[in-house]
Structure 1
Amino acid sequence: MLRTSVSAICLALALASGSAQAETVFPAKLAGHAYIPAASFIPAPADAPSDAKVSGKFTTGVRVDAVGTVPGDTGALHGRRLTGLSLPFEGQPLQGLSGFAMTLADDGSIWAITDNGYGSKANSPDTLLFFHKVAPNYEDGTVDVRETIFLSDPDRKVPFRIAYEGTESRYLTGADFDLESIQVIGEDVWIGEEFGPYLIKAGLDGKVKAVYPTMMDGQLVKSVDHPTISGLSKPGVDWTVPRSGGYEGLALQPGTGLLWGMLEKPLVGEDGQPIGSYLPVLAFDPEKGEWTGQSFKFALAEGATAIGDFNFIDETRALVIERDNGEGDPSLKCEGEAKPDCFPNPAMLKRIVLIDTATIDADGFVRRIGHIDLMNIADPDGKNRLETVAGRDLTGIMTFPFFTIENVMAVSDTQIVVAMDNNLPFSSGRQLNAPADNEFILLDVPEMLAAR
């Protein structure tokens, strides 16, 4: 695979636009549907600071201690529609599933990571970081959360001051890291995060063993949220990874044993604008604990803004979630200004893309074999369990119109599981004014998984 330096990426302004060629669209059929209800919470560990017993106290810019007094809404991008849940919350929200490990746990459950809480360093200092073992039951539509493991830093491996620095337990919070992807190798849990961006190595007990900064061609790569970045820093010089642009995907490659970290968004130049429309993907050797220097580029399709997850299905082929920033069915797109009965920025592009890392072109771009359309999933058997508000007939169709779809893995030679991050209490999608649940969909996609 090709080696790409920061300087080379910064010069390649026009490469991506010509690299995303026409590709096959494969069919997808809904085989199962399960979900965790939006308002699902878990208590903080008994030895966590009392501050963690109530989360979401800092989402308004000022401290709010009164539980349930700050209405959640979808934000300016999506018309500030109320979602019906109010912050702060008693306990920690289970929400925000943001990545699946490639392999199942010993009990057959899925290793899943929850992200940093409420979306930024500033508003998430009282949200704890954790990963889970979860098992969707497609027969009754429920999801069994079998175990939740909280991340902590008792051995002081984190190279900067954490929010709960002076505590004995030293649990990590959303002010420390933004967790977005996960892989499990033996007794080690590897996590891709966005603030550094860093790779975090932890034990199955959640205790951090090491934190690795991102290196590209021998240079340190930082995001705008890196702990050393200040308000006087310059884009394209002091940092090149935009906010929420770190390791949304972390894939474990069979055969080589390498971890491949895929950035969520394109790098930026000195003007603060994206450099092309592609994402760097970097190789890390978990045995040596170092970046290998190998890399390739994933070209975003026209209309796509980011990826949501990345997992191999064999030694060279992998699945990538590709998405835009929209939510809600496009049949209810607002005409003119945003109103309560429409979606100002509906979902238009939500895909699972199949790539082949054995084929990299002369410019470093990986081959896109084809994709399925998550906005148009066949549902002839009526497996869909949740109503979707729309201005069109959705009979026989399952659509997945969510802002952040962030989990995908193959579970057999013919099926994959896809799930989303519901950004509680800030995202909707199926309804105009109700919070999104944590949905899991089992999809029959034999043609895509067999494609070469």
Structure 2
Amino acid sequence: MRRITILMSAATMALSLAAPAAADPGRSAYGRATLTGFAALPALTFVPGSEPSGSLLGTAPVNGVTPPFAGQPVQGFSGIVRRHDGTFDVLSDNGYGGKANSSDFLLRVHRVKPDFRTKEVKVLGGFDLTDPRGLVPFPLTRQDRKLTGSDFDVESIVRTADGTYWIGDEFGPFLLHFDRRGRLMDAPVPLPGVKAPENPDLNGGQPNLGGSKGFEGMARAVDGRRLYPLLEGTVSGDPAGSLRMYEFDLSKRAYTDRRWTYRLDDPSHAIGDAIAVDANRFLIIERDNLQGDAAKVKRIYLADLRDRDRDGALDKTLVADLLDVADPRGLGGAPGTFRFPFQTIEDVVILDDRTLGVLDDNNFPFSNGRTPGKPDDNEFITVRLTRGLKADPRVYL
């Protein structure tokens, strides 16, 4: 954690002592965000006509839901891409939380449209991720080469100018390149010098990254030429709570020699998503691993590569505390304070210079941050910041 700077006047000192432990001058410069939209997709939403799933979860009820399931749940939103017709592409993660229990979960990108008037999220379709050309060099779960949650743990997504998608995986970690129909276009790109325990090329060696701690967030440069994938876990030997952000050159299909450090407020925290604001600044979700009333940290930071305080990490400014959002109109419940108390919040998108869209990953059927004993819905909220980000206009392209 960064140290609190204590000013000399008694009044200012009193305010500092009353502030939360993680507070820091400049971090709260944006003040309290306001809820401007709320919509939800029910947890028990399945892809029409899809295959059964969840066969490896046992048969005991989880949050009142009994597996296995008759279809593929529309769940686990771990990445988002804004389209220009009011719809969004959202990426489901590896399925049920692990390589061993997700072999019957098909990796998929869904097309959704939030309706903030009716407070509903509509699913308009989507596509499965596949490898019909046999570009994955290791054995896949299925002979038809549809990708499953036992093959990759996909957690971040961007769309490039040619309409294709780059997706960040946590098992390798790998970068994956897909066409508009979800077909793999290139062999998975490994991260040099870093391997998670699930990496298929470990060959008895020692991993230097935690399980499923690969590319949780990934931003596209505003000029469209580079990607900035961000690890969720700390590489062995790096200081506790420090996460590596890399630069990937899309024209060369290779990593550059540039790398930065994002420092968590606490080593027990994790990041949820990253998106570029301009050439130097990114919005990054940081969260604790708690949910419901126990949740303490669900934040969106503005992180700056320029490291003006010269501490070796991205400079962080708090733009929204998702556990303390003003809701004067009661859009998310009773008027007052709105909380977004989910264990995993993994999607942020810039809608205009003062408005962000934020979604949870509901970890179906396991998470119950909204209502104890009930699986979380996929919630889509919009929040208005107290002032503009001054984002590069190319963010909206």
The alignment's TM-score, normalised by the length of structure 2, stands at 0.88
Residue 326 (structure 2) pairs with residue 348 (structure 1): no
Of 401, 408, 411, which residue of structure 1 is paired with 2:351?
411
Of 310, 316, 321, which residue of structure 2 is paired with 1:368?
316
SS of residue paired to 2:166: strand
Residue 231 (structure 2) pairs with residue 291 (structure 1): no
CA 1:139–1:304 in structure 2 vs 1: closer, same or farther (change >3 Å)?
farther
State the Cα distance separating 1:313 from its structure 2 match.
2.1
Partner of 2:199: 226
SS of residue paired to 2:373: coil
Of 370, 379, 386, which residue of structure 2 is paired with 1:439?
379
Residue 255 (structure 2) pairs with residue 281 (structure 1): no
Give the alignment of 1:373-384 within 5 angstroms: 373-384=321-332
Query: How many residues in Structure 1 have an aligned counterpart in Structure 2?
Result: 371
Give the alignment of 1:202-351 within 5 angstroms: 202-215=178-191, 219-229=192-202, 233=205, 238-255=206-223, 257-269=225-237, 275-302=239-266, 305-329=269-293, 346-351=294-299
State the Cα distance separating 1:172 from its structure 2 match.
0.5
Bigger relative contact order, structure 1 or 2 (CA pairs below 8 A, ≥6 apart)? 1
Return the alpha-carbon distance in structure 1 between the equivalents of residues 215 and 179 of structure 2.
Answer: 20
Partner of 1:66: none
Residue 33 (structure 2) pairs with residue 32 (structure 1): no
SS of residue paired to 1:92: coil
CA 1:429–1:448 in structure 2 vs 1: closer, same or farther (change >3 Å)?
farther
CA 1:204–1:360 in structure 2 vs 1: closer, same or farther (change >3 Å)?
farther
Partner of 2:52: 54
Preserved CA contact (<8 Å) 1:110 1:135: yes
Preserved CA contact (<8 Å) 1:250 1:260: yes
Q: Deviations over 1:62-116 (max 9, x none)?
A: xxxxxxx4311xxxxxxxxxx1111110110101000113xx2243311211101
Preserved CA contact (<8 Å) 1:325 1:403: yes
SS of residue paired to 1:320: strand
SS of residue paired to 1:308: strand
Of 27, 30, 46, which residue of structure 2 is paired with 1:41?
46
Preserved CA contact (<8 Å) 2:329 2:335: no
Partner of 2:305: 357
Return the alpha-carbon distance in structure 1 between the equivalents of residues 309 and 220 of structure 2.
Answer: 22
Preserved CA contact (<8 Å) 2:213 2:232: yes
Return the alpha-carbon distance in structure 1 between the equivalents of residues 327 and 65 of structure 2.
Answer: 30
Preserved CA contact (<8 Å) 1:296 1:360: no
State the Cα distance separating 1:211 from its structure 2 match.
3.4
Return the alpha-carbon distance in structure 2 between the equivalents of residues 227 and 417 of structure 1.
Answer: 35
Q: Deviations over 1:13-62 (max 9, x none)?
A: xxx867995443221100010010000001466xxxxxxx21010124xx
Partner of 1:187: 163
State the Cα distance separating 1:450 from its structure 2 match.
4.9
Return the alpha-carbon distance in structure 1 between the equivalents of residues 57 and 26 of structure 2.
Answer: 42
State the Cα distance separating 1:355 from its structure 2 match.
1.3
Return the alpha-carbon distance in structure 1 between the equivalents of residues 232 and 116 of structure 2.
Answer: 30
Return the alpha-carbon distance in structure 2 between the equivalents of residues 256 and 209 of structure 1.
Answer: 18
Preserved CA contact (<8 Å) 1:193 1:246: yes
Give the alignment of 1:16-31 within 5 angstroms: 22-25=25-28, 26-31=31-36
State the Cα distance separating 1:363 from its structure 2 match.
5.3
Partner of 2:147: 172
Preserved CA contact (<8 Å) 1:17 1:276: no
CA 1:36–1:22 in structure 2 vs 1: closer, same or farther (change >3 Å)?
same
Return the alpha-carbon distance in structure 2 between the equivalents of residues 321 and 190 of structure 1.
Answer: 20
Residue 298 of structure 1 aligns to which amino acid in structure 2?
Y
Preserved CA contact (<8 Å) 1:23 1:371: no
Residue 282 of structure 1 aligns to which amino acid in structure 2?
Y
CA 1:363–1:380 in structure 2 vs 1: closer, same or farther (change >3 Å)?
closer
Identity of aligned residues (%): 38
Return the alpha-carbon distance in structure 2 between the equivalents of residues 106 and 349 of structure 1.
Answer: 32
Return the alpha-carbon distance in structure 2 between the equivalents of residues 351 and 143 of structure 1.
Answer: 23
CA 1:44–1:309 in structure 2 vs 1: closer, same or farther (change >3 Å)?
farther
State the Cα distance separating 1:314 from its structure 2 match.
2.3
State the Cα distance separating 1:133 from its structure 2 match.
2.0
Give the alignment of 1:117-156 within 5 angstroms: 117-156=95-134
Return the alpha-carbon distance in structure 2 between the equivalents of residues 293 and 319 of structure 1.
Answer: 23
Residue 123 of structure 1 aligns to which amino acid in structure 2?
N
Return the alpha-carbon distance in structure 1 between the equivalents of residues 197 and 264 of structure 2.
Answer: 22
Preserved CA contact (<8 Å) 2:110 2:123: yes
CA 1:150–1:360 in structure 2 vs 1: closer, same or farther (change >3 Å)?
farther
CA 1:89–1:433 in structure 2 vs 1: closer, same or farther (change >3 Å)?
same
The alignment's TM-score, normalised by the length of structure 1, stands at 0.77
Q: Deviations over 1:108-138 (max 9, x none)?
A: 3112111010011110000000112222111
